[in-house]
């Protein structure tokens, strides 16, 4: 359940420009946070007239909160303050720290020292180019680390193994070093789009030991499907790259893929047989490429429900391109097929081509129906 929430937040926030995360809204969708935050109530809430525990004469302890920040329920909000460094006096028991949209250039060794309850750290939209290799060493409970829109040139070293979601979109990363994610078995969501990453920049073994479910490497300089990503992936988004073709063994490791995004590349061909390696695929985006025909093998994908092929160079559609023949069964009928903006002579497409579509409205073939 929690993962679903995270994934949906990620999907919402993966747009290119910097979009601030509203921390309080974020908390509301994260029930766990509120529960954790509740236990700092050390007042015994006794309704008696005479307070027994805390004598009137001793004032309540002055809450530590960095100047200008807002601290409530162990959430420290220091966004939009023009800070050039992480404030020194962040309470050590903080659960969430929001440092979005400042001018921080560097994360130093002791910036988050002793904060071993920290659950989420937001460093989005700063000018961070350096993170001390020991900066995160005590963050034994950190699950969300968002460092998108910064100036990092490499994946931070020694990240806590507890991290569930890492967002490092829009930095200057051109290289993913071997074992960059070593031991991070919980890292289920990795968003590293919009970095100047080429296939040759991914060292062999870079993703070893990870069991990610969701990965997005869009808007980079990839020219081929990376072959060395975690084999556990359920979702892989590689849109807005420079991939020129899909080769036979591109997906050989990714047997559990359910959603695959390859839109906005330069794919001219999908080798026959390549899709047979992803038999569980449900959603396939190949729109805005240079395909000349419908990829071979779609009809054998029993669970495929959505396939986007619009804005390609497909000039003909065969009657068996989408649906199985000869008594073979398609377990899930299609709910969406898009073919518009292709040089297809639509009057030549036989209606039986779409015999395994659940609803004829699901087929978008005409150019005037340009909605997704």
Ligand X SMILES: *[C@@H]1O[C@H](CO)[C@@H](O)[C@H](O)[C@H]1NC(C)=O
Binding residues for ligand X, rule: CB under 6 A, are 44, 46, 48, 50, 52, 272-273, 290, 292, 296, 313, 315
Cβ 157 to ligand X shortest distance, Å: 44
Cβ 288 to ligand X shortest distance, Å: 11
Cβ 340 to ligand X shortest distance, Å: 16
Non-local CB neighbours of 153 within 8 Å, separated by 6+ positions: 129, 171, 172, 173, 174, 175
* Residue closer to ligand X (CB basis): 175 or 290: 290
Cβ 295 to ligand X shortest distance, Å: 9
CA distance 100 to 325: 55
Cβ 220 to ligand X shortest distance, Å: 23
Cβ 370 to ligand X shortest distance, Å: 18
* Residue closer to ligand X (CB basis): 35 or 52: 52
- 85 sits in the region (left: phi over 0; alpha: psi -120 to 50; else beta) called beta
Non-local CB neighbours of 11 within 8 Å, separated by 6+ positions: none
* Residue closer to ligand X (CB basis): 272 or 358: 272
CA distance 193 to 220: 6
* Residue closer to ligand X (CB basis): 1 or 48: 48
Q: What is the DSSP string of 186-249?
A: T--EEE--SS---GGGB-TTTTTT---SEEE--SS---S--S-S-TT-SEEE--SS---EE-TT
* Residue closer to ligand X (CB basis): 28 or 370: 370
What does the block give as tokens for 92? Answer: 């050590």
* Residue closer to ligand X (CB basis): 91 or 244: 244
Q: What is the DSSP string of 139-155?
A: -TT--EEE--SS--SBP
């Amino acid at each position: 359940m929690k993962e679903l929430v995270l994934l949906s937040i990620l999907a919402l926030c993966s747009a290119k420009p910097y979009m601030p995360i509203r921390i309080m809204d974020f908390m509301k969708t994260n029930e766990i946070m509120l529960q954790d935050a509740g236990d700092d109530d050390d007042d015994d809430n006794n309704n008696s007239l005479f307070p027994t525990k805390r004598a009137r004469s001793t004032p309540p302890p002055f809450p530590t909160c960095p100047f200008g920040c807002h601290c409530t329920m162990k959430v420290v909000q220091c966004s939009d303050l023009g800070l050039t460094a992480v404030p020194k006096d962040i309470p050590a028991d903080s659960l969430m720290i929001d440092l979005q949209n400042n001018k921080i250039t560097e994360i130093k060794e002791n910036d988050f020292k002793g904060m071993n309850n920290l659950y989420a750290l937001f460093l989005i939209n700063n000018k961070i180019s350096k993170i001390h290799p020991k900066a995160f060493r005590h963050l034994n409970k950190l699950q969300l680390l968002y460092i998108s829109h910064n100036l990092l040139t490499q994946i931070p070293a020694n990240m806590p193994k507890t991290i569930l979601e890492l967002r490092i979109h829009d930095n200057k990363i051109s290289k993913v070093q071997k074992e960059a994610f070593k031991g991070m078995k919980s890292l289920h969501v990795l968003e590293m789009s919009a970095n100047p990453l080429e296939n040759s920049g991914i060292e062999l073994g870079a993703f070893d030991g990870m069991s990610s479910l969701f990965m997005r490497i869009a808007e980079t300089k990839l020219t081929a499907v990376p072959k060395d990503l975690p084999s556990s992936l359920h979702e892989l988004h590689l849109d807005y790259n420079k991939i020129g073709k899909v080769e036979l063994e591109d997906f050989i490791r990714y047997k559990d893929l359910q959603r695959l995004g390859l839109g906005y590349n330069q794919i001219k061909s999908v080798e026959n047989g390549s899709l047979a390696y992803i038999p569980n695929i449900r959603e396939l985006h190949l729109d805005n490429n240079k395909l000349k025909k419908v990829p071979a093998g779609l009809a054998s994908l029993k669970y495929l429900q959505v396939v986007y092929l619009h804005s390609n160079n497909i000039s003909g559609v065969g009657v068996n391109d989408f649906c199985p023949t000869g008594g073979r069964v398609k377990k899930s009928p299609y709910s969406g097929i898009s073919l518009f903006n292709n040089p297809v002579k639509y009057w030549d497409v036989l209606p039986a081509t779409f015999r395994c579509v659940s609803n004829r409205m699901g087929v978008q073939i005409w150019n005037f129906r340009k909605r997704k």
